[in-house]
Amino acid sequence: RTQSFKTVEASLRVDALASAGFKISRSKLVNLISNGDVRVNWTTVTKNGTTLKTGDIVSVSGKGRLKVSECSIGEINSTKKGKFSVELIRYL
């Protein structure tokens, strides 16, 4: 089962997108990253500034997994104000 939703974020960093996807604060996510509990494409992430791209899978131990989805155009869209419109798929 999956749940798909769109979000608008200021950056494509792993802490910004994962906090939107799992609905937890960025500061809590930074703690999880420093503890080694966050993986991107099954590789442990140590820096919260890691940039995500289309098709990346983010997994947080104890929270679940989400995928940066391909939008209708096939890439991450930019808004008029310079932010990024991203579609996330959360695996339930």
User: For 25-73, what is each residue's pLDDT tens digit?
Assistant: 999 999 999 999 999 999 999 998 899 988 999 999 999 999 998 665 5
User: What is the residue extent of each domain of the chain?
Assistant: 2-91
SS3 65: strand
Model-level pTM?
A: 0.89
3.40.50.10890, 3.10.290.10, 3.10.20.740, 3.30.160.100: CATH of 2-91: 3.10.290.10
25 touches 16 (CB < 8 A): no
pLDDT value for 69: 82
Report helix, strand or coil for 17: helix
Do the bridges between strand 77-78 and strand 43-44 make them parallel or antiparallel, or are there none, so unpaired?
unpaired
**At residue 35, what is the residue type?**
N
Looking at residue 71, what is its pLDDT?
60
Per-residue confidence at 91, pLDDT binned at 50, 70, 90?
very high
4-17 mean pLDDT: 91
Bin 68: left if φ > 0, else alpha if -120 < ψ < 50, else beta.
Answer: beta
